[in-house]
Amino acid sequence: MNILDSLQQQFGVKKSYLENVINLIDEGNTIPFIARYRKEMTGALDDQVLREIFDRLNYLRNLEEKKEQTKKLIEEQGLLTEDIILSIDKASTMTEIEDIYRPFRPKRRTRATIAKELGLEPLANIILEQNKNDNIEEIAKDFINENVETIEDAINGAKDIIAEIISDNASYRTIIRKEFFKKGIIVTKANKEENSVYDMYYDFSEPVSKIAEHRVLAINRGEKEGFLNVKIEEPLDDILKILQSKILKEDSKYIIETIEDSYKRLIAPSIEREIRNYLTEKSEEGAIKVFGENLKQLLMQPPIKDKVVLAIDPGFRTGCKIAVIDGIGKVLQTGVIYATTGSKPKIDEAKKLLTEYIKKYGVEIIAIGNGTASRESELFVVDLIKELNIPLFYIIVNEAGASVYSASKLGSEEFPDFDVALRSAVSIGRRLQDPLAELVKIDPKSIGVGQYQHDINQKRLSEMLEGVVESCVNNVGVDLNTASASLLSYIAGISSSVAKNIIKYREENGKFKNRKELLKVNKLGPKAFLQCAGFLRITDGDQILDNTSVHPESYEVAKKLIEKLNIDINNIGSKISQNIDIPKIATELNVGEPTLIDIIKELEKPGRDPRDEMPEPILRSDILTMEDLQEGMILKGTVRNVIDFGAFVDIGVHQDGLVHISEMTDKFIKHPLEIVSVSDIIDVKILSVDIDKKRIALTMKI
């Protein structure tokens, strides 16, 4: 199998571009750098496709390695033939390689190996020949000895050998696997007679070929927790008929019996495990992709810039921790208020203190964490806003992961004098001001925008989410003079140790004046500089192009373009004429057209933030409760989470409503992500409200 041919077949990308991608990866270039600064070489493939190519490339290379290992292992047994080599070379999956190697794999002591030790292999071969003139019972007499006492023992031992031969046949397994997929039914039954979240699976069945990925994960969890018994019912008669058609030459009762024994005892259990594993892996991959897409949308929420924020981490007994944060994230004030105790003196005292802070620091937005006591805190804040009668708004902030950050080493290093809860308050406020900069400090798995995240492959999940964070950070770019080490460590080419060295250099030498100064940072050499420079911004530096995503390697081209268009380099930022002859200028400047187009975009909007194009979060000044909701009401809401069967939407009542996939649109869609994304602002209509069960059903079909 040719890796390049396989990649082209899967991705439909020109071979020359794929060759360039492989070479660029092998040279140690990062995905963000390749996607942004090597567009001419890749045909402008985006970073998501590049990551998929990278993953597939690794799989195919591992497959080739597995093929060579398998050939070597079979050759060591002196059994490697041209046919086997051809079969291995043709294999396109790890499963096919495993099937081919199965007959040669050293086996534990099985019924077949015991029969071989008893000298029954010649009898097995005679039975397999299916010569109608052979009297098997008479022939079996010759195999009777002190260890094989009867004709029946001899024949049964021979059948065990044949059963293993059938089981080890790769082509039979391929056929059976297809039958399982095509006609198999997943059946689940209750293992415990008690109410649970798995009630719908207590008597459930669905074709293997049609079962939804989220159902697979739910069934797996129910089985793991002991609530469900799970089985795949295969088309047994069809499979046995297929095997008989492949193996039977004559109407041999011994072969017919052996085929059934081989299938039921040796083949079916392992094929069922394989199918279950395949469905699980496929479902996990789907869940990981949804998680990644949700995380991307969450990270790419627009920042609320240059606003003084008062953040509240709600609590009851220990009080609400508060932090006032200025427009660039600096903590101005912290404290504790008792606004949720129900005690009027305590509430009055809390109002007095917050009023003082609001006026002293010019607070414009109050950010309330959505955890314990959030509802009571919101009631308190709304009451305060009404009393103050000033332009002041509040917003409920998803605090998932804030406690993880607060208790982390990073949190204690950043705020050594703050207790854990105060750090949470700061995190809540900052994630409103700049979600990306704050959320990168938290393990992506702790942010809570997926489904069944604890049931899926944690290594693969981490890899995917790390890639999403890296993609978002590099897409936005970071301010070299204000970015934290956490943020810098996601920039292409910068490791966590180099990120710390950048911070250290900044502390010792003051602000970076230009990108070239990066080369003075310890352990940041020319190779790392090439990868990272274009993603790091410097405002008010020596070089105005340092505040754009134009890479230093293209500065000369950018300057020539500026000169050609008679633009004042110190006054870039205005719209450049649409009548530019891109192909002509690209030829004149000896630069690729994609790079030229990107340079023009950057000259038009230096320091642009792609997040500004996203919908802004909803700020509120009054409160709504579930009791206020009525069927038919139309409200604006924020999509908090997207899952396989729908989306949860925050409509401001502290209980997210569910828009089922069937209520999103009248047209057929395979997944809710085709319609909505995390952080989208959407209009929804109330379908039903169940206050006791705290369920709100919504529709987008308005």
Q: Tell whether the torsion through CA atoms of 481, 485, 488 and 492 is positive or negative.
A: positive
Strand, helix or coil at 622? coil
The arrangement of secondary structure in 626-699, i.e. its CATH architecture, is Beta Barrel (2.40)
Count CB atoms within 10 A of the CB of residue 508: 7
Round to whole Å and give the CA distance between 211 and 205: 9
- Whole-prediction pTM value? 0.83
Q: What is the mean pLDDT of residues 282-293?
A: 90
pLDDT band at 231 (very low <50, low <70, confident <90, very high): very high
Q: Is the Cβ–Cβ distance between 384 and 394 less than 8 Å?
A: no
Superfamily holding 3-104: RuvA domain 2-like (1.10.10.650)
Closest CA to 216 of 230, 196, 234, 226: 230
Q: Which residue has the tokens 């109410």?
A: 195
Number of continuous H segments (helices) and E segments (strands) in the chain: 29, 15
- For 7-19, the pLDDT digits (tens) are 999 999 999 999 9
Residue pLDDT, tens place only, 140-168? 999 999 999 999 999 999 999 999 999 99
Q: What is the pLDDT of residue 493?
A: 96
- 187 band by pLDDT with thresholds 50, 70 and 90: very high
- Where do the structural domains in the chain lie, given as residue ranges? 3-104, 309-433, 496-613, 626-699
Q: 3-class SS at 325?
A: strand
Mean of per-residue pLDDT scores for the chain = 92
pLDDT of residue 297: 87
Identify the CA nearest to 346 among candidates 369, 323, 320, 371. 320
pLDDT computed for residue 270 by the predictor: 94
Report the distance separating Cα 53 and Cα 38, nearest Å.
15
Give the span between the Cα atoms of 676 and 535, in whole angstroms. 29
In the prediction, which pLDDT does 1 show?
A: 59
Do 56 and 10 contact (CB within 8 A), yes or no?
yes
State the DSSP code for 130. T
DSSP 32-95: HHHHHH-HHHHTS--HHHHHHHHHHHHHHHHHHHHHHHHHHHHHHTT---HHHHHHHHH--SHH
pLDDT for residue 568 is more than 80: no
For residue 442, the model assigns a pLDDT of: 87
Taking alpha carbons only, the member of 308, 312, 309 closest to residue 421 is 312
Provide CB contacts within 8 A for 601, sequence distance 6+: none
Residue 479: how many other CB atoms lie within 10 Å: 16
- What does the DSSP 8-state code read for residue 620? B
For the chain, percent of residues with pLDDT exceeding 90: 71
Among 20-24, 191-195, 236-240, 256-260, the minimum mean pLDDT is found in 191-195
Q: Which CATH number fits domain 496-613: 3.40.50.800, 1.10.150.310, 3.30.70.330, 3.40.50.300?
A: 1.10.150.310
Residue 167, phi then psi, degrees to nearest 5: -60, -35
Q: Are 188 and 230 in contact (CB under 8 A)?
A: yes
662 Cβ contact partners less than 8 Å away, ≥ 6 residues apart:
none
**pLDDT for residue 609:** 83
Tokens of 330: 């600096």
Q: DSSP letter for 330, please.
A: -
Q: In sequence order, what are the residues at sequence separation of 6 or more whose Cβ sits closer than 8 angstroms to the Cβ of residue 130?
A: 248, 249, 250, 252, 255
Please report how the helices 94-101 and 47-76 are oriented relative to each other, as an axis angle in degrees rounded to 10. 10
For the record, the structure tokens of 459 come out as: 């290594």
Q: Which long-range contacts (CB under 8 A, 24 or more apart) does 594-600 make?
A: 594/39, 594/40, 594/44, 595/37, 595/39, 595/40, 595/554, 595/557, 596/557, 596/561, 598/36, 598/39, 598/549, 598/550, 599/550, 599/554, 599/557, 599/558, 599/561, 600/561, 600/576
3-state helix, strand, coil in the chain (%, to 5): 55, 10, 35
The burial class, CB within 10 Å (0-12 / 13-18 / 19+), for 353 is middle
Residue 448 pLDDT more than 80?
Answer: no
Residue 577 pLDDT level (bands cut at 50, 70, 90): low
498 closest CA partner among 531, 474, 476, 465: 531
pLDDT reading at 83 higher than 90: yes
Gap between the Cα atoms of 211 and 186, Å rounded: 8
Cβ atoms 186, 230 nearer than 8 A:
yes
Query: Over 70: is that where the pLDDT of 578 sits?
Result: no
Cβ-in-10-Å burial (0-12, 13-18, 19+) of 141 comes to exposed
How far apart CA 426 and CA 334 sit, in angstroms, is: 9
Lowest mean pLDDT among 65-79, 301-315, 338-352, 394-408: 394-408
**CATH number for region 309-433:** 3.30.420.140
Whether 500 shows a pLDDT value over 90: the answer reads yes
In whole angstroms, give the CA distance from residue 51 to residue 28: 14
Q: Which residue has the higher pLDDT, 307 or 192?
A: 307
